[in-house]
Amino acid sequence: MSNKRFENQVAVVTGAGRGIGEAIAKSLAAEGAKIAVVSRTEANSAKVAADINAATPGAAKPYAVDVADFDAVQKTGDQILADFGRCDILVNNAGVTRDTLAMRMSSDDWDTVLQTNLKGAFNFTRAVLRAMVKQRSGRIINIGSVSGLMGLAGQANYAASKAGLIGMTKSIAREIASRGITANVVAPGFIETDMTAVLNEEVRKGALAQIPVSRFGATADIAAAVSFLCSPDASYITGQVLAVDGGMSM
């Protein structure tokens, strides 16, 4: 008997081409899940799928799609279900930022962030939810942000998208609870990724001053929280927000 928590399960991870999404995909794969690696670019999804398959041959397939495109996502969802036969875990991680003060923010800055971060999560949920309902089992994890809990200057669009994700998750959690499906949010704080690597020293110092544990998190911290919420140990947890932020938003 395998002690891998996700043996014979299929996980769809969006924004899995790098950073937090890549860490989540690899973590779930290490515990036995087969992975649909979704990224906007073919190159990124193919690279992560190849890494996973090098460790466990045949465990991953790459998919390239813009999560903001409803019709394209439904087609990709159909393809994933045809390829794997089921979907047990959906991790909506794809996200973008267009940071600037509200008085300077363009309509395009607003729309791009909301379409990717919020509508994109709805699009993929819509694409696999019917399959989960038929199975009467499933886990949906939406990757939020500390910004959606407390608001950060220069992130009106990003904070709105992540706060919206919380409301959407709670509503969906109520709709599907009787079908054995849970939906939760993991809200990262400042995590060491490509996104935070571009912050200048002054911004980093300012961020660290707001974090009680006095350090940025690692992508593995987020992957561990996601794995817990996907596991049988979390079967009685739904509609919740788990902040993994070193205490920043408490």
pLDDT tens profile 39-85: 999 999 999 999 999 999 999 999 999 999 999 999 999 999 999 99
Q: How far apart are CA 87 and CA 51, in angstroms?
A: 21
Answer positive or negative: Cα dihedral of 220, 174, 156, 40. Answer: positive
Low-confidence ranges of the chain (pLDDT < 70): 1-2
Q: How far apart are CA 146 and CA 2, in angstroms?
A: 36
Query: Which residues touch 235 (CB under 8 Å, ≥6 apart)?
Result: 182
pLDDT for 1 = 53
In CATH, the architecture of 10-243 is 3-Layer(aba) Sandwich (3.40)
User: How big is the chain, counted in residues?
Assistant: 250
pLDDT for 106 = 98
pLDDT for 3 = 79
Q: Is 186 helix (H, G, I), strand (E, B) or coil?
A: strand
Would you kindly state where each structural domain of the chain is located, as residue ranges? 10-243
pLDDT for 2 = 65
Q: How far apart are CA 30 and CA 25, in angstroms?
A: 9
Burial of 30 (0-12, 13-18, 19+ CB in 10 A): middle
What angle do helix axes 120-135 and 70-84 make, rounded to 10 degrees? 30
Is the CB of residue 18 less than 8 Å from the CB of residue 40? Answer: no
Q: How far apart are CA 129 and CA 77, in angstroms?
A: 10
Residue ranges in 64-197 assigned as alpha helix (H): 70-84, 107-114, 120-135, 147-150, 156-176, 194-197
Q: Is 205 helix (H, G, I), strand (E, B) or coil?
A: helix
Question: 63, 158, 190, 216: which one is catalytic?
Answer: 158
Query: Within a 10 A sphere around the Cβ of 81, how many other Cβ atoms?
Result: 18
Q: What is the pTM of this model?
A: 0.96
pLDDT for 78 = 98
Question: 158 an active-site residue?
Answer: yes
pLDDT for 196 = 78
Dihedral class, residue 101 (left if φ above 0, else alpha if ψ from -120 to 50, else beta):
beta
